Chains A and B, each alone.
Chain A
Amino acid sequence: MSFFGECKRIYSEEMKTRISPKITAQPTRGLVDEKIYIRVSNLIPNEKITLRCLLLSEDNDFWHAYGLYISDDKGVVNVAEDVCLGGSYTGTEPNGLIWSLKPVPGSRPALRLRKHNVFTPFLLNISVHKGHINGDFKDASSLALTVIERWYISPGVSRVEISENYIHGTLFLPPGPGPFPGILDLWGGGGGLVEYRAALLASHGYASLALEYMSTQNTSINVNNIGIEYFEAAIHFLKSHPRVSSEQVGIFGLSFGTSVALNIAAKGNRISPRCLVCISGSHAVKINGTIGDVFTNLKEEGGKIMVDENNHFIWKELILPRLADPSKKVKVGNIKCPLLLIAGNDDQNWPTVDSARDMENMMKAAGNEHLLTTLIYPKTGHLIEPPYSPHTRFSNFISAFNQEKVVVLWGGQPKEHSFAQEDSWEKILHFLYHHLYSSSIGLSKL
């Protein structure tokens, strides 16, 4: 019998007599931003094992992550406390099996993991394998397996499609009669209707409107017809919704969405948000006419577009020259509400750190810097998503403005970027709670 065959025979004899390893993962069903606790027991003491997390995305790609561990004297591996010796991550990383998820070898290139349907969970298969496996799981059978569900929406949250008064989006309402604080949730230049963050915010008690403002399919939303008034109408819609507390409406933006938020807040009219969360954006994008004009201008003025050694596009210098020109920047000195600014210093897509510094200076000069809290994270890229989304350093991007298909470099390193997502989200929830709940009268929260 060949050596390999002999090994297999020994393996199966051993399997007959040993007690099956047991793997438990908590919570079995939870929100995507909840920490996971994975424990393996009934192993042989000081046994080498590999833990693997496998997921099938809605786009039909397999994503996986794995970590190499050694059980203790009692035959137990506790991921929250033990050291991972290699694999997709190293060190003590309780949630490493999720945030280090990457497409399996052989997958299509430049993928990004995003959830389209918030009413189904991500199903994570977490398995234990004998020995230290170097990433190729084709022939590796598992010793034990468990399945957990990760949800963007908690029980009781309702989803309402909105297309009235030309606003197009999805409103997520927490359970109960309300009234709830409201959040306008804005994404960036990729366009479309992205719901998962709004669903997650509603699961934390905020009536959240995911707004579509750039669509390739919905012709009623044409960026050449939409200006700042569109977003103001969305805020007005939220404020006058029967289940929303009109005095407690804020804006949450990422990338271009941040620029929109800053433009609205600086306008200082009756549409005044209660607070702003601005991730990976810049004030050097002024919205004077239509959104279409704004995107056209982005290309036309100054700034260079670069590519890296893989031909991935680096756009962070595109609007850099504007920082020197006050007429091209939102007058953030006029902002009257608390502002949480979050950026990664390895952002290759927008000049977010330079913009943040410039905003600080402008607000200092105007005397409203007490409203500003800035969080800048090292080795963190552009796509600062809710935890524990896998870090994407680059991915396919189709601009909703001109349907160009490119691969964009977002930046960031997995471990530091994942920490930034976890840390910033905690601070975001704290910030929102402080400004939209606890400082208000008449809203109680379960």
Chain B
Amino acid sequence: MDEPFQLEVACLPPHCPVTLRSTLCSEGNDLWESFSHYVSDERGRVNVSKDDSLGGSYIGCEPMGLLWSLRLAVGGRQNIRLRKKNMQTPLVVDISLFDGHTIDNFNTQTALAMTTMERWYMAPGVRRIEVRENGVVGTLFIPPGPGPFPALLDVWGLAGFMEHRAALLASRGYACLALAYINHPELQLGSGMGISYFQESWKLLQSVPQVSADRLGLLGSCFGAAIFILMASELPDISPRCLVAINSPSGLLNPGEGNYLEKLQRLLPETKLDANGHFMIKDAILAFGIDLERSLQAGGIQCPVLLIVGEDDQCVPSLESAQKLEAQMRAVGKGHLVTKLSYPEAGHLIEPPYHPVMRSSSFILPGQTVTLLWGGVGKPHAAAQEDSWRRILEFLDKHL
């Protein structure tokens, strides 16, 4: 899924305007589509890696634009994130070629040509193991071979449990435990939210035979990352070799607050809607006793930290939190451990590369479904996904 592809069109007349359209049918049966306008060269060829798109879902030279600019087709459900639940099957993307520069009604036209592409999260040989042990709920992905492998704990934010990044990391050589801690049918409400749950998960990962117990790292997004920062800072028995935090609202958590769910539940009623009906979580967080002064002290972290920030994050105060964290570590002489990658115009949902970019989507909260504004603008956000992933893999390679 994180590999670029090459797409070429041949045997066209010279200087012929054409439209390339990519479509994907998600597991939820929603149609995603993207299209772009090109003109063939004097040899009748179009090379998406080199040529400029003149319009459509993206403009300019975008080798992977047909993937990251995918959005839900008009006429279907809207506002839903692209989520793949089954890691053992690929995302299937069809790419069709149409005559002329078309912007809609693709279904009434005959394509000139078509090809199909499979995008996988799991490389061949990667093993997927569902984990339900000692109360820990998650999925473990192990690379093929005898090991032992460096390992990672992988968590997401309040959206809950997702496996795709852990599957990708295993495909890149890391044993990775995708950890559920909230919003999971097999976790009792709140039981995944205490410090002891994470300590148990850490111990579990260390005990996996194919894992090199002294080469563990933590990788998290959003709220999960904040928990990881807290763990690394406060808990002596958790000693990661490195930590990656993506858009973490680290200011939200204070040490000693054993159950973060209660804090969340206090947060929600305070949240307002903006003019577009988007649920402005970020404002609520900022208003809610941040007090980034009172927030968690990251000074206890002993390992290299990679902070990934989308400056247009509308969900959490990611930039402010990262700056605060960096300052705290500098204050105790550990500033050299921190690397901060800050991407202007990137939003909250910094996913692995080529994921469709969504500025907002619907989100299910206890008792209501709202539209959350994530932030992020098309091309810059896609570029942030691509660059941050490369930097993450380099960082992990170096420290694990």
Contact = CB atoms under 8 A, between A and B. Distances in A.
Contacts of B147: 20
Contact of A156 (B8, B97, B116, B212): B116
Nearest to B145: A145
B384 to A, nearest CB: 25
Interface in B219-277: none
Interface string A88-126: 000000000000000000000000000000000001010
A20 B90 CA distance: 29
B146 interface: yes
Contact of B125 (A145, A175, A444): A145
Contacts of A156: 94, 114-116
Contacts of B112: 444
A45 interface: no
Contacts of A149: 124
Contacts of A148: 124
Contacts of A445: 9-11, 113
A20 B145 CA distance: 10
A440 B11 CA distance: 8
A140 to B, nearest CB: 11
Contacts of A174: 115
Nearest to B43: A438
B145 A177 contact: no
Interface residues of B, number: 37
A20 B144 contact: no
Contacts of B97: 444, 446
Nearest to B123: A28
A22 interface: yes
Interface in B94-126: 94-97, 110-118, 120, 123-125
B124 A177 contact: no
A155 interface: yes
Given A155-B92, A438-B10, A446 B146 contact: no
B118 A155 contact: yes
Determine which residue in A155, A440, A444 has the highest number of CB atoms from chain B within 10 A of its CB, and name it.
A444
Q: How large is the interface on A (under 10, 10 to 19, 20 to 34, 35 or more residues)?
A: 20 to 34
A127 interface: yes
A176 B114 contact: yes
B11 A22 contact: no
A145 to B, nearest CB: 3
Interface in A7-49: 19-20, 22-24, 28-29
Nearest to B95: A446
Given A145-B146, A438-B11, A175 B118 contact: no
A288 interface: no
A181 to B, nearest CB: 11
Contacts, number: 89
B145 A23 contact: yes
A144, A149, A438: which has the most chain B beta carbons within 10 Å?
Answer: A144
Interface in A256-276: none
B115 A147 contact: no
A147 B10 CA distance: 33
B198 to A, nearest CB: 26
A440 B13 CA distance: 11
A348 interface: no
Interface in A131-178: 141-149, 154-156, 174-177
B149 interface: yes
A145 B144 contact: yes
B111 A146 contact: no
Contact of B9 (A22, A144, A154, A446): A446
A335 to B, nearest CB: 26
Contact of A20 (B113, B117, B148): B148
Contacts of B114: 156, 175-177, 446
A299 B8 CA distance: 51
A440 B90 CA distance: 35
Contacts of B111: 176-177
B144 A446 contact: no
A371 interface: no
B12 interface: yes
Nearest to B111: A177
B116 A175 contact: yes
Contacts of A145: 125, 144-146
Given A156-B94, A177-B110, A142 B116 contact: no
Interface in B125-156: 125, 143-150
B10 A437 contact: yes
A29 B120 contact: yes
A432 to B, nearest CB: 13
Interface in A397-446: 437-438, 440, 443-446
Interface of A: 19-20, 22-24, 28-29, 123, 125, 127, 141-149, 154-156, 174-177, 437-438, 440, 443-446
By Cβ-Cβ distance, the 3 closest A-B pairs, closest first, are A156-B116, A147-B125, A176-B114
Given A143-B146, A156-B116, A445-B9, 12 more contacts: A23-B145, A29-B120, A29-B124, A127-B145, A145-B146, A147-B125, A175-B94, A176-B111, A176-B113, A177-B110, A177-B114, A444-B10
Interface of B: 7-12, 90, 92, 94-97, 110-118, 120, 123-125, 143-150, 171, 173, 212, 215
18 contacts: A28-B120, A145-B125, A145-B144, A145-B146, A146-B143, A147-B124, A156-B116, A175-B114, A176-B113, A177-B110, A177-B114, A444-B10, A445-B9, A445-B113, A446-B8, A446-B95, A446-B97, A446-B115
